[in-house]
Structures are given as structure tokens and as C-alpha cells.
Amino acid sequence: MKISSFILVLVALCGSAFSCIAEEAQKPVPAPETTQKAKDIPHEMGDRTGPVWIGIRTVLDRRSGWGWIKKEGQDWNQARWCMLEEKPGVIKAPGRYTGNPDGDQLMTYRLYGNFENFQGYEPDFDVFIPIFRLKGFEVIGPGEPVRKDPPTLSSSGPPRYAERGANLIRH
């Protein structure tokens, strides 16, 4: 009896751990102050020439992707989960103007730039995704969450949490 109870508890714990990871991958991190903070984001920034892309900032727990990006005129279901390549000193991600790089949850932008010819690796999810190299942006305004899940694993095999590297803090 004791053993079966123990197994039941164990199964419940394992189940909640896995569902927790799965949920984290889907649910945007709530950011109630986003609208207030987003006022600090300049309406326009950087080089705004060339093709226009539409992006929605989507902060997901443990994800290093920036959000969903699509071509102007496309549906959001055609959007791609992407990283944003900034150039410190030249152009930074819009959210950084809020004082917190994640402070612009669900803001939408017109993005200017291009996709890199190589992908980026999300260490916590073992997945390679496109990189958008940012040149400039314009704020559109708050948007709705995209009903879509980012890619999960690039490798074969069962899902495994791939924890990132050491906390290296030597001064």
C-alpha cells in the first residue's frame, strides 16, 4: 500500500513537471506593466529603409527567441519564431528602452532589417531558429498573443531539458 501510494505521488510529480515545461513553452509571460513601460519606447528608431516585417514581442519563459515575425500582409499563422540580432551602440531591441529587455511584452512593430544566413541556438530547448538582424523599427502598438507554439527540439529523441552553461561571475 505504501509503495503504491509512493508510486502514485511520484507519477503525479513527474506529470506536473512535464506539463509545467510544456505550458511554459506555450504561455506568454504576463507583463501587466507592459503598456505603461512601452511609453518609453521611441516611436521610430534606426534605419527604416527596405522591406518591412511585422513583429510581435513574445516573452516566453526560458526562451531566448524574441518573438514572432512575419511579412507585411501575411497572417500570424505564417509568422516565424525568431531571435533578434542587435548591434550594441547602433541599434537595440525596442524593449531595452523600457529599462528591461522583456518590458515590451506583446507590443507589435514594423521591423526593418534582414534574416541572417545562419540560425541561432536556444540552449534551453536545443533548437535552431531564424535570426532577424535589426536595422530599425517603428512601434505599431499592443497586440494579441499569437496562437502558435515555438519549435521544440532539433535533435531526435525524447524531450530533454538542456540547461545552459555555468554561472560565471569571477570579477
Partner 1 sequence: MKFFRLALLIWATLFFVPAVQEASEYIVISGGPALRYFEHSKPFPHDMYWGNFIDAAETRIGQVRPKLAPTDVITWMVYRPSYERRGAEQEENLIAEIEDRAHKSGARLVWFFNRDGLIEYLNQPRKDDKICGLEYFGHSNKRTFLFDYSNLLDGASPEPGTLHMDRLKEINRDDFTSNAYCKSWGCHSGEEYSGEWKRAIGMDMWGAVGKTDFSHGGLPFLSSEGGRWTK
Residues paired with 84 in a beta bridge: 132
Task: Give the integer Cα–Cα distance in Å for 55 and 132.
Answer: 10
Q: In sequence order, which residues have a C-beta less than 8 Å from that of residue 1 and are 6 or more positions away?
A: none
User: What minimum distance in Å lies between the beta carbon of 28 and partner 1?
Assistant: 17
Task: Please say which residue, 16 or 154, places its beta carbon nearer to partner 1.
Answer: 154
CA-based nearest residue to 57, from 130, 111, 121: 111
User: What minimum distance in Å lies between the beta carbon of 32 and partner 1?
Assistant: 19
Cell numbers found for residue 116: 541572417
User: What minimum distance in Å lies between the beta carbon of 45 and partner 1?
Assistant: 17
Task: Please say which residue, 3 or 168, places its beta carbon nearer to partner 1.
Answer: 168
Q: Which residues bind partner 1 (CB under 8 A)?
A: 64-65, 83-86, 88, 93, 100-101, 116, 118-124, 126, 128, 131, 154-155, 160, 162-171
Residues paired with 110 in a beta bridge: 54, 138
User: What minimum distance in Å lies between the beta carbon of 25 and partner 1?
Assistant: 16
Task: Please say which residue, 144 or 163, places its beta carbon nearer to partner 1.
Answer: 163
CA-based nearest residue to 100, from 43, 36, 148, 12: 36
Task: Please say which residue, 1 or 168, places its beta carbon nearer to partner 1.
Answer: 168
Task: Give the integer Cα–Cα distance in Å for 64 and 127.
Answer: 11
Radius of gyration of the chain (CA): 19
Task: Please say which residue, 102 or 138, places its beta carbon nearer to partner 1.
Answer: 102
User: What minimum distance in Å lies between the beta carbon of 92 and partner 1?
Assistant: 8
The answer to whether the beta carbons of residues 154 and 129 sit under 8 Å apart is no
